[in-house]
Amino acid sequence: MQERNLLLERLGTALKYAILIIGAIMMVFPFAWMIDASLMTSSEIQRRPPALYPAEVQWQNFTQLLDVLPFGRLYLNSLIVTISTVIGVLFTSSLAGFAFAKYQFPGREVLFYIILATMMIPFFVTLIPVFYIVRQLGWIDSYQGLILPSITSAYGIFLMRQFIVSIPDELIDAARIDGAPEPMIYWRIIIPLTRPALATLGTFVFIGSWNAFLWPLLVINSRDLYTVPLGLNTLRTFAAEARNLNLLMSGTVLSVVPTLILFIFLQRYFIQGITLTGLKG
């Protein structure tokens, strides 16, 4: 009887790992296939059936790709936009979160509810008006057009307020007694103490901003200002016509690698953020 149970348990464990491994292979397979194809020749890909692996690894796909699409420039643009957006969101969210958590002023509750309400507005409803406003401001085809509309986040303000509420008032009062002006309290006390929340929010905003496609597609016309997703989209149409599928895959590799690397290093914060929004939000 006991032996049978042990056997069953072993079988169960083996099955468990088998399912997890199959699942993981399915998850990684598209990425592996993308890297595989990015190192083939175009004819190897289009042969019927295509090659399973490159007869000879085509590293030159990547150098050829750089002739078609200036990836350095795309990275630079994406970095400028993404980092500015992250800094903007972290700054405005922590400031407003601080004010809503620790200051008394008339209208505080109402304004906070308004902010909560804007969290429910989906992006596509505001797309046409925001595009119109940005155009009226003369921000089409500019970094500010990409960055400025998204430097505040209702969700960010909410998250930071929840976090700052739990900071003891005594810390703030002690600083005031020492004669610290309010902005210094924000900078010297609030910012250091909210670092984990800032890291979580920052990771989210970074990935969202790096992957953003629709807004840049609307705002940017000139290739000099293309972000990585816009470049990938151009490559997509180009590859469909020219049948340069190997270059398309090299481009996709270059476009996803930065977020993958960032995630591997910061996954703790990311998972934390999800659990936070998923259950306590």
Question: Which tokens is 128 given?
Answer: 């046409």
Segment 99 to 128, residues that bind other proteins, using CB under 8 A:
99-100, 103-106, 108, 111, 114-115, 117-118, 120-128
Q: Does 141 bind other proteins (CB under 8 A)?
A: no
Q: Does 180 bind other proteins (CB under 8 A)?
A: no
SS3 113: helix
Q: What is the CA radius of gyration of the chain?
A: 25
Cβ pair 229, 255 in contact under 8 A: yes
Segment 4 to 63, residues that bind other proteins, using CB under 8 A:
16-17, 19-20, 23-24, 26-28, 30-31, 33-34, 37, 45-50
Segment 62 to 91, residues that bind other proteins, using CB under 8 A:
none
- Residue 81 to residues 74, 85, 116, 133, 223: CA-CA distances in angstroms? 11, 6, 26, 19, 15
- Residue 107 to residues 58, 103, 248: CA-CA distances in angstroms? 63, 11, 53
Q: Does 179 bind other proteins (CB under 8 A)?
A: no
Q: Does 220 bind other proteins (CB under 8 A)?
A: no
Q: How far is the CB of 73 from other proteins (least distance, A)?
A: 18
* Among the residue ranges 64-72, 139-147, 151-159, 194-202, the one whose residues contact other proteins (CB under 8 A): 151-159
- CA-CA-CA-CA torsion sign (258, 90, 146, 110): positive
* Among the residue ranges 59-67, 79-87, 129-137, 193-201, the one whose residues contact other proteins (CB under 8 A): 129-137
